[in-house]
Amino acid sequence: MRIVIDMQGAQSVGSKSRGVGRYTLDMAKAFVLEAIQKHEIFLVLNGAFPDSIEEIREQFKGYIPRKNIKCWQQYANPVSGIDGNEWRRCSAELIREWYINQLNADIVWSTNLQEGWVDNAVTSTKLMDGKELICSTLHDVIPLLYPEKYLSSHIRNWYEDKIKHAKNSDLILTVSEYSKKEICRLLEIDESKVFVALNGYDNNIFSKGIGSDVERVAKHINLKPQSYLFYAGGVDDHKNLNRLLRAFGSLPVALKMKYYIVMAGKDAQAIESHLKFIASNVGIDTNQLIFTGFVPDLELATLYRNCAAFVYPSYSEGFGLPVLEAMASGCPVLAANAASIPEIINYNEALFDPFNEADMASKIEDLLTNESLRNSLVEKGLKRASDFSWGASAKQILGAFESLHEKQTSAKVNSNSYQALINKISCISAEPSSVDLIQTAQSIADNLIQSNLDRTCYLDLSCIVHFDHATGIQRVVRAISNELLKNVDSTYKFSPVFSYSNHNNFYHIAQKESGYDSVKDCDLSKNIVDFKDGDILLFLDLNPGSAITKSLQLQKLRNRGVLVYFVVYDLLPVSHPQYFVPELGAEFAEWLKTVIKSDGAMCISADVMNKFHEWIKKNSLVPSTNFEIKHFHLGADLKNSLPSTGLPFSAEQVISKIRDNKSFLMVGTVEPRKGYAFVLDAFESLWANGEDCILVIVGKEGWRNEHTVNRLRNSPEYMKRLFWLEGISDEYLEKVYATSTCLIAASEGEGFGLPLIESAQHNLPIIARDLSVFREVAGEYAFYFNGLESVFLVDAITEWLELYKNNIHPKSEFMHYLSWRESALQLKKQLNLTLVF
């Protein structure tokens, strides 16, 4: 079966921090573990709660593949509790069901239908025709038991509508036999349609004697263990907190003054002044009443373990999860003898009449003064808690789903076409505004789930489009994009795109035979990229500023199911900041922080990958869920990298000079870290010592290197034994490689070292600084040197020349290297794309 679980109960403002939120997360986890071997499970999230999406992905990491966590989008504001929202709510309900229909599920399970009164959660059943069976959890029907308290005229219609949708379900799940009885009675439905699966608890958290108790208690309440009574939960009328305060207030003064009352939960904190008013009227010092607000589970378990007693006076509960958690944590529990609570506790000594304050006070006094009773309640509570588990309940629910599915006889067809949805929306009785229509149209467009055959990997080539400086990175971008765009593939097609800083959109690129052109500004609106769930956005080019300004937009794309990856060429601005202007280093660090909030970094070497891991650890950063750092290697064949062409008039003479002499070649932008000044010092020493050799530099003028640039241009050996070929074409560079004697790679830091494998392609020997990345690329097929003083390079060249004369120097012709086609294949493999050229 394919089973879809609607996870809004773990997202919505109304449920996330309550028992429904815990049920949704913990029951769903247990269900996935139980069902995943035999069935296909999808989780569906609501994109209107963006802050919860990454959190839930993290919760289910290792439980379910990321691609099976889907997110539908809604751009209107359908909150039911706001007047005038009827059309938005109705259209959102239809869009949600249409989106789920596209998943072709056999079972759709909503963990809580009673959502959306105070936030943008949306629930409904069978508004769109579908083949899937609908199963809904109805935790309780308390508002129907006490309509005068909970069903004012404003909320009644909404609640009754949710109950109608619950009755439309093929199966109703509930959490106790008590709830089942009340559901069948008040909804007038047959008990065969209602299935009971008791709640569980996380025994890794709610267990006796786990955790740094004293520290956690002090963090929240600064009280000694056993010095407080504890309550955790909501503050609705049926929670009965006013009677709890009156019962405590009636205790003997000497006993009462020994204890505080601690109340956990955001709702209790919200009405703190009201509860303190009640306390002051019944003889309780308001300083004895402490409100923690929302408490995470680990701290909550500690508060359970260290209290003198957990008291739960609620007289109407579908289950009463805090009671079970408290028992499992090893504290003595007292609770109301009402609704589902006796079913959960199952021993009379712990129960009191919730409407009798004297009985409640008597039970509290007995517990606080009778050590034997306390120990007995702890022991019985631990034993009873061991009967409950999310895993056992999940197994029961799966069995109920399998049985329901086996009994299905009619073969239905999903109404998942655009037209079916539009027809339904057009029948909504309320009138939409023009803004409503625009938002709904966008929501429909963004909720279309494309087939695997329609997925696209978009390649961001913004620098190539805007300012191709023909640097090493741009050569890589041209080469790999050229190979990717040749691809004929049944899973992904590739498409080049570009953007601008501070633009939320990406734009299609007009591809030419010789490269890429951006569309004109006036055409931008017609060329906006329409991303879909399952697409990939790969930042193949390096454009930190633009990516940083898109951090929020990239997260929105990831929320929608688009995978976002970056190619990381090096970490030099943060590893060698002395060679870059401070502003660039700061920007680069921000870019890396943007990268780790994506789905992954594709580094161009294992060395860069390892350094990236180290940088993240050193800066104590937390990457996004499922973030991966992988690596691939670059290629070497210039002819397959959209090479530039053209030779200057002087080319033949220069090539002849290089060919006829011992010529040492350096390739790369003339910037400080590349070691040009260091190499020039060495060659000036060699020339002064009578060594007849040539130094050839191929690269554009870089930054912060004015002194070295002036030395090169004003050298007495310029165009004699020193040749600086600025901005030459790839065609010219090929000829230089082919006629040189040896490559010198003197850089103090690199991400890869592309000239090394380009040299190997031409069987050109290599002298390289002993960097880990150069060792990774060239292995034993290069001659290595160390040291930052030119004398070390002079000695290395002298030694290498002797080896060369005897033909025993390391030979690059045996070095393994990739073509650009093979490099592109490596990259695609790391992106988990199954592609065929």
DSSP result, 149-217: HH--HHHHHHHHHHHHHHHHSSEEEES-HHHHHHHHHHHT--GGGEEE------TTTSSTT-S-HHHHH
pLDDT tens per residue, range 650-670? 999 999 999 999 999 999 999
Per-residue tokens: 515: 């490269």
Amino acid 488: pLDDT: 59
CB under 8 Å to 489, separation ≥6 — which residues?
833, 835, 836
Residues 712, 697: Cα–Cα separation, whole Å: 10
Read off the pTM: 0.85
List of E strands, 691-803: 694-698, 722-725, 742-745, 766-769, 783-785
| CA contacts within 13 A on the Cβ side of 785 | 25
Cβ neighbours around 95 below 10 Å, total:
25
Amino acid 835: pLDDT: 40
818 has pLDDT over 60: yes
Residues 743, 666: Cα–Cα separation, whole Å: 6
Sheet with 289-293, strands from edge to edge, namely 289-293, 260-264, 228-232, 309-312, 333-336, 351-352
Amino acid 836: pLDDT: 37
Distance of CA 367 to the CA centre of its chain: 47
Per-residue tokens: 221: 């309440």
464 has pLDDT over 90: no
Give the 3-state secondary structure of residue 350.
Answer: helix
Amino acid 511: pLDDT: 61
pLDDT tens per residue, range 559-603? 999 999 999 999 999 999 998 889 999 999 999 999 999 999 999
Per-residue tokens: 497: 């795109």
519 has pLDDT over 60: no
Contact at 8 Å (CB) between 735 and 765? no
CATH class of the region 213-387: alpha beta
The single-letter code of the amino acid at 26 is: D
Residues 290, 221: Cα–Cα separation, whole Å: 7
Widest CA span in the chain = 109
Ordered by start, the domain boundaries in the chain are 2-198+411-446, 213-387, 452-635, 645-817
User: Across residues 36-61, what is the average pLDDT?
Assistant: 95
pLDDT tens per residue, range 533-552? 989 999 999 999 999 999 99
582 CB burial (10 A radius; 0-12, 13-18, 19+): exposed
293 CB burial (10 A radius; 0-12, 13-18, 19+): middle
Contact at 8 Å (CB) between 15 and 139? no
Amino acid 202: pLDDT: 93
Residues 71, 793: Cα–Cα separation, whole Å: 58
**Which superfamily is assigned to 2-198+411-446 in CATH?**
Glycogen Phosphorylase B; (3.40.50.2000)
Amino acid 837: pLDDT: 34
Q: Judge if 452-635 and 645-817 fold alike in CATH terms.
A: yes
Specify whether domain 452-635 bears CATH 3.10.450.
no
User: Across residues 229-244, what is the average pLDDT?
Assistant: 95
81 has pLDDT over 90: no
Residues 179, 340: Cα–Cα separation, whole Å: 7
Which range has the top average pLDDT, 83-87, 105-109, 514-518? 105-109
Least confident of 248-252, 450-454, 653-657, 703-707: 450-454
Confidence of residue 195 (pLDDT cuts 50, 70, 90): very high
To the nearest 10 degrees (0 to 180), the angle between helices 472-485 and 820-830 is 80
Residues 666, 827: Cα–Cα separation, whole Å: 28
pLDDT tens per residue, range 315-363? 999 999 999 999 999 999 999 999 999 999 999 999 999 999 999 999 9
Residues 473, 464: Cα–Cα separation, whole Å: 10
Residue with tokens 């308290």: 149
211 has pLDDT over 60: no
Contact at 8 Å (CB) between 398 and 31? yes
- By C-alpha distance, which of 488, 456, 496, 461 is closest to 475? 461
Contact at 8 Å (CB) between 460 and 495? no
List of E strands, 703-829: 722-725, 742-745, 766-769, 783-785
**Which superfamily is assigned to 645-817 in CATH?**
Glycogen Phosphorylase B; (3.40.50.2000)
User: Across residues 790-817, what is the average pLDDT?
Assistant: 95
Q: How far apart are the first and last CA of the chain?
A: 35
Q: How many helices (H) and strands (E) does the chain have?
A: 35, 27
- By C-alpha distance, which of 572, 616, 622, 629 is closest to 751? 572
Write the DSSP assignment of 519-532 as a string of letters: PPGGGGGGSB----
- By C-alpha distance, which of 411, 557, 367, 529 is closest to 461? 529
517 has pLDDT over 60: no
Amino acid 166: pLDDT: 97
